[in-house]
Structure 1
Amino acid sequence: MKDQFAGKVCLVTGAGSGIGAATCGLLAARGAEHIYAVDIAHGTAEATSSKLERATALGVDVGDPAQVDRAIDEAVQASGRIDVIVHAAGVDDPESKKWIYEAAESGAPVDVLSRLSDEAWRRVMRVNLDGTFHLLRAGARVMRGSGGAIVTVGSSSAFDTLTGYPHYAASKSGVHALSQAAAKELLPYGIRVNVVAPGPVDTGMAARTPAHLRAAMEAGPARGYATAEEIAESILYLASPAAANVVGAILLTNGGQFTVA
């Protein structure tokens, strides 16, 4: 396992924290030749890359296609190619979570949709869905000659939607469909695309989830919150040669919260 990614050049978005940072750590531990740690905040990307022997930090807003293209080009110019892309960057909506929490406290029905602004909708879509398109497109352009693996991060909430979170669920449903469409198109070029769809994960984003929702997710026989490292393990499986026959899959990693047909 320690040489699982030997000789591979990898680029990871959302690398400053959570699942992205954990993925960078595992790739380094398993022999990656070089890792490009990408985050909207260069300082957090640098904090991740500084812990690794062969890594470069890049400050990139994935919602900006020009910034994504520049980052991909910079990596290719420096390393000659990219073998693995992991797109873990994503955002939630703290204001909607606040409204959900307030409704739970008062016993009133959740009222998010009627108050959801265009700006809040676009922010979530811009990063979660547009950002995925930008990474898939850039990856297709540079990997079609040599092949490789792309793993995007969706969400179990695309199947089991949370009350009061329509924009997040919609963005992640789009990530799933977009990634599966790309998987079919890019397979002839030797590029495998797959999706990890986590359930609740104990990251900074989850820390903003109202307490009653956290408790509900941890109730019952299913596992509660996963660690970022556990999700990273699933990502590395999909990116590795062990998953050579896995294309266009959506891997549910939700601890048995629910299954889908």
Structure 2
Amino acid sequence: MKHQNQVVLITGAGQGMGQSIVRHFADAGANVAAVDINPQALAATVDELNGWIEGQIIAITANISQSDSVRDAIATTVEKFGRLDVIINVAGVGSIDTFIDTPDAHWDKVIGVNLTGTFLCCREAAKVMQSQGSGSIINISSTAALTGEGPSHYCASKAGVMGLTRSIARELASSGIRVNTIVPGPTNTPMMADIPEEWTQQMIDAIPLGRMGESDDIAKVASFLACDDSGFITGQNIAVNGGMAFI
């Protein structure tokens, strides 16, 4: 199978997009380190999948906005599986705030998880991958970074992820490490449940393909970026948004 024996670490694995990506890779034979801050959601995901998937899954509780926690998660992965081939940085948060009324705490949390957390995961994964001479780093941004249609902290954090990808892809290429970002449009995940229904319909109306994305749409692109089929692709931000916006 395409990901047979690959070692893949996936953050935000307890629900939504991350959970779907865990399922996709494990079913394709990968050994997966499923990482989430919520131990209950994470345990439920791993328990559900361990009965039928081809690869192995381990659950790691971690806070990706804290560097020590990220280092421990990656060390646990390498200790268990011996290497790290792919990291997929899915974990993200948001809140509905107008710019003027955004509390400092909300700004710090969204930037801390979505941008700083992605940076920390990329940095610590790259240290392992450099010693191996290979690896694939896959980040998750958002079409909101392109359109500005969303809370300022969320749009800023996701735009930062795209810039981070371009920079570190250049720096890490000589080490055999590829870095790319998937840029989803509105996708059916638990995060969307907090958005008012009329806003959701407006999003769908703005998508030329006429539907919201599904988590599996993102998982399939992650699968492509994680394998040798994309071996000459790095530093790219790939829009998966039904034609809602272009990069």
Superposition TM-score tier, normalisation by shorter sequence: over 0.9
1:130 is matched with 116
Aligned partners of 2:58, 2:107: CA distance in 1, in Å? 32
Structure 1 segments of 4 or more deviating over 6 A?
none
Aligned partners of 1:55, 1:36: CA distance in 2, in Å? 6
Shift of 1:193: 0.6
Stretch deviating more after TM superposition (198-207 or 224-233): 224-233
TM-score by length of 2: 0.94
Aligned partners of 1:237, 1:225: CA distance in 2, in Å? 21
Matches within 5 A, 1:94-133: 95-96=96-97, 112-133=98-119
1:89 is matched with 91
Which ranges in structure 2 are unaligned for 5 or more consecutive residues?
none
Stretch deviating more after TM superposition (46-55 or 234-243): 46-55
Aligned partners of 1:66, 1:222: CA distance in 2, in Å? 42
| CA offsets 1:142-176 (integer angstroms, 9 cap, x no match) | 1112211110101111111115x111000000011
3-state secondary structure, aligned to 2:136: strand
Matches within 5 A, 1:1-261: 3-32=1-30, 34-50=31-47, 51-52=49-50, 53=53, 54-93=56-95, 95-96=96-97, 112-146=98-132, 147-162=134-149, 165-219=151-205, 221-260=208-247
Shift of 1:63: 0.5
Shift of 1:6: 0.8
3-state secondary structure, aligned to 2:147: coil
- CA-based RMSD of the aligned residues comes to 1.1
Larger Rg belongs to: 1
| CA offsets 1:228-255 (integer angstroms, 9 cap, x no match) | 1111111111111111011011010001
The percentage of counterpart residues that share the same residue type is 33
Contact 2:12 2:89 in 1 (8 A): yes
Aligned partners of 1:140, 1:19: CA distance in 2, in Å? 23
Aligned partners of 1:45, 1:37: CA distance in 2, in Å? 7
Contact 1:223 1:256 in 2 (8 A): no
Contact 1:217 1:224 in 2 (8 A): no
Aligned partners of 1:247, 1:223: CA distance in 2, in Å? 30
Aligned partners of 1:46, 1:180: CA distance in 2, in Å? 34
Shift of 1:258: 2.1
| Equivalenced residues, count | 240
What is the one-letter code of the residue matched to 1:160? T
Shift of 1:223: 2.9
3-state secondary structure, aligned to 1:159: helix
